[in-house]
Amino acid sequence: MSGDSAAHSVPGASLAASLDSDGIGGAIYALAAELYPICRSITGGGVRETLRILSQHAPIVQHEVPTGTPVLDWTVPKEWVIRDAWIKNAAGERVVDFQKHNLHVLNYSTPIRATLPLAELKKNIFTLPEQPDLIPYRTSYYNERWGFCMAQRSLDALPDGEYEVCVDSDLKDGSLTYGEFVHRGASEEEVLLSVHTCHPSLANDNCSGMALLALLAGRMAGLKTRYTYRFLFAPGTIGAITWLALSGDAAKRIKHGLVMSCVGDRGGFTYKRTKRGNARIDRVMSRVLRGRDANVIDFFPYGYDERQYNSPGFDLDVGLFQRTQFATFPEYHTSGDNLDFIDAASLAESYRVVVAVIEALETERRYLNTSPHGEPQLGRRGLYAAIGGDKDSYAKSMAMLWVLNLSDGDHSLQDIADRAGAELAVIEETALLLERAGLLKAL
Ligand code: ZN
């Protein structure tokens, strides 16, 4: 299949046009708002309920992997069931109430039922003294303990005395749940789009990413594409590790990918490159973000599941796409990351960036140099004559050398134009000339 013949289901319409609509931002926001109240964790009913809702928008298949399954260097953990959690004062009033905000319970908390003096209770309470009105998001996945999270100001307001505490939860053998939709394209080569599903009521991190990806997946479902697209909805770290462990050959087919989180806030864009740093997805991302308020940064092995995908045993070319970079906004991992922190316009803009990336991957033309060992002899083929002795001949011969050198099947003509600092039209014209001379083969 040649690079410029990607088929679309709507004749004459670009893939981007087929995926877009005026109401897309509002639709993503509404779906994120529907997901927001659910108490998710790395395992348990919250993730299942989330995937059930997302499945109304895309044909996402739920997979269950039993507790105790070995996955790479890890083991699928127990399933967390949370029913209620509260702290009551001497009058029997709930002064901390999971029903009011699910961040109030330490995520993955073991069960507890006790009456304790305030000083003792405080050892199991997490607050943010620097942001005294916000509830922190805290987890304790791999260290079994109980706990609560609350605003420092609310804690300060509690008088000394005895408090009754209850975390009505179970940690039991069950399974880890992840969702997946594979959209088959003409090629077996895959593009991975991955979001984490494990955070409870945090709107930007990552109701925004889950909602954006599900609506994109739903719209892709009816379209013909060149690549196969794998949409993965999995709990952070352990979910990606589980998928990688069980993926068999699928991981080897992934050629490009993006992890998405925090795509709904009003800040500029952040793109964190793959470990390789100059993968095709990195070049496409830089191009799509050019001219926008965007910060493109190098890979580092902390953040979201790009860490797992870029681990040396897999080395997949997967970058991270966000608006404001994680851990740099004050609302990050607090109750401040609520539905007021994201908006439809920002979600729509993020969606359009992802669509533009897909459009670029689908349509950018790439060639293979058919004589790649050393430079081919251009004079013998009359190619120097073809570019003539006019004042542009130096630029034209440079364009020829760039196209030949970078036509490795990975670099597109746009990539070559960027690298050469040349107009795309000049690079395209050169590629045509070289193709006619039999020195290039279209992919
Ligand atoms: Zn997070």
- Low-confidence residues in the chain, pLDDT < 70: 1-13, 385-391
The pLDDT value given to residue 388: 59
The CA 197 to ligand 1 mean position distance, Å, reads 10
The CA 154 to ligand 1 mean position distance, Å, reads 24
The pLDDT value given to residue 393: 79
The pLDDT value given to residue 389: 61
The CA 329 to ligand 1 mean position distance, Å, reads 12
Q: What is d(CA 243, CA 122) in angstroms, rounded to the nearest whole number?
A: 38
Number of neighbours of residue 239 by Cβ within 10 angstroms: 29
The CA 3 to ligand 1 mean position distance, Å, reads 38
- Residue with the two structure tokens 């299949």: 1
The CA 211 to ligand 1 mean position distance, Å, reads 16
Number of neighbours of residue 178 by Cβ within 10 angstroms: 24
The CA 10 to ligand 1 mean position distance, Å, reads 38
The pLDDT value given to residue 81: 98
The CA 301 to ligand 1 mean position distance, Å, reads 15
Domains of the chain, first to last: 3-76+175-363 (3.40.630.10), 80-172 (3.50.30.90), 366-442 (1.10.10.10)
The CA 400 to ligand 1 mean position distance, Å, reads 47
The CA 209 to ligand 1 mean position distance, Å, reads 11
Q: Residues 6-48: pLDDT tens digits?
A: 443 444 568 888 999 889 999 999 999 999 999 999 999 999 9
Alpha-carbon distances of 83 from 30, 146, 171, 349, rounded to whole Å: 26, 14, 12, 37
Give residues whose Cβ lies within 5 Å of ion ligand 1. Answer: 205
The CA 218 to ligand 1 mean position distance, Å, reads 25
Residue at 263: amino acid letter: V
The CA 201 to ligand 1 mean position distance, Å, reads 11
Contact 266, 348 (CB under 8 A): no
Regarding pTM above 0.85, the answer is: yes
The CA 365 to ligand 1 mean position distance, Å, reads 37
The pLDDT value given to residue 395: 85
- Residue with the two structure tokens 């009913």: 45
Q: Which two tokens stand for residue 298?
A: 């190098």
Cβ partners under 8 Å of residue 195, min gap 6: 206, 209, 210, 212, 213, 232, 233, 234, 259, 260, 261
The CA 333 to ligand 1 mean position distance, Å, reads 6
The pLDDT value given to residue 10: 44
The CA 149 to ligand 1 mean position distance, Å, reads 16
Phi and psi (nearest 5°) for 368? Answer: -115, 130
The CA 19 to ligand 1 mean position distance, Å, reads 28
The CA 224 to ligand 1 mean position distance, Å, reads 34
Sign of the CA dihedral 53, 54, 57, 59?
negative
The CA 289 to ligand 1 mean position distance, Å, reads 23
Q: Which residues in 280-291 are b (16+ Cβ under 10 Å) and which e?
A: bbbbbbbbbbee
Q: What is d(CA 132, CA 10) in angstroms, rounded to the nearest whole number?
A: 53
Number of neighbours of residue 373 by Cβ within 10 angstroms: 6
The CA 180 to ligand 1 mean position distance, Å, reads 20
Q: Which two tokens stand for residue 51?
A: 């995937």
The CA 355 to ligand 1 mean position distance, Å, reads 24
The CA 399 to ligand 1 mean position distance, Å, reads 45
Angle, helix 45-54 to helix 24-35, in steps of 10 degrees: 160
Q: Residues 77-120: pLDDT tens digits?
A: 999 999 999 999 999 999 999 999 999 999 999 999 999 999 99
The CA 420 to ligand 1 mean position distance, Å, reads 39
Phi and psi (nearest 5°) for 11? Answer: -55, 135
Cβ partners under 8 Å of residue 212, min gap 6: 28, 195, 260, 263, 264, 347, 350, 351, 354
The CA 15 to ligand 1 mean position distance, Å, reads 31
The CA 199 to ligand 1 mean position distance, Å, reads 7
- Residue 436 gets the label, from left (phi > 0), alpha (psi -120 to 50) or beta, of alpha
